[in-house]
Amino acid sequence: MGMLDSLSDPVGQVPAGLATGRLDLIPLAAGHADEMALVLSDPALYAFTGGAPLPPDALRARYARLAAGSPDPAVLWRNWVVRLRRDGCLIGTVQATLTPARDQAEMAWVLGTPWQGRGFATEAARALAGHLADIPVGRLVAHIHPDHHASAAVAAACGLSPTRHRQDGEIRWEFARTT
């Protein structure tokens, strides 16, 4: 079974949840917006990526669009909220944009400021990278601002390495599976 076959969802079906030792990755839904608006409310989160915190109604609309899936049938969106199991609260998101024809997935992650520095981003991103490897996706990619050392450490923990390629001022990190 090829990557496209294993990722094509029946209409309305969302990607499966994932679990780690401390975290649950739950398929993103518009209903997560109120809690996530608080998680993502620190303007410092946007220092490297640009943008600003969204109010709950705007985040709800964004999450509804993401949960509906990509309008491009050649691209698959996979988005999860990250729940800290011990406390039962949401702490961030992980996502992958898959292009099956290119056998590639672009990963991204963000955790609210109070939960940073405790290995949660690495744990969640590694779960995502493992899930993508199981599909299997041949190439994992992340774009990281050159001064965002914490995200670079997460990418490295997922097996990605920096390349010479730059996009919008960010460094392209990659992991390519050899078969």
On the question of a cis peptide bond just before residue 15, with omega within 30 degrees of 0, the verdict is: no
pLDDT tens readout for residues 44-76: 999 999 999 999 999 999 999 999 999 999 999
Mean pLDDT computed over 83-111: 96
pLDDT at residue 5, as a whole number? 43
Residues 6 or more apart in contact with residue 75 via CB below 8 angstroms: 97, 98, 99
Count the alpha carbons within 13 Å of 39 in the hemisphere toward its beta carbon: 20
Query: Considering the entire predicted model, what is its pTM?
Result: 0.90
Residue with tokens 């992958």: 96
Structure tokens at 13: 């079906």
pLDDT at residue 177, as a whole number? 77
Confidence class of residue 135 from pLDDT cuts 50, 70 and 90?
confident
pLDDT at 140 over 70: yes
pLDDT at residue 6, as a whole number? 43
Confidence class of residue 7 from pLDDT cuts 50, 70 and 90?
very low
pLDDT tens readout for residues 75-93: 999 999 999 999 999 999 9
Confidence class of residue 15 from pLDDT cuts 50, 70 and 90?
low
Instruction: Using alpha carbons, select from 125, 23, 40, 44 the residue that is nearest to residue 78.
Output: 125
pLDDT at residue 136, as a whole number? 87
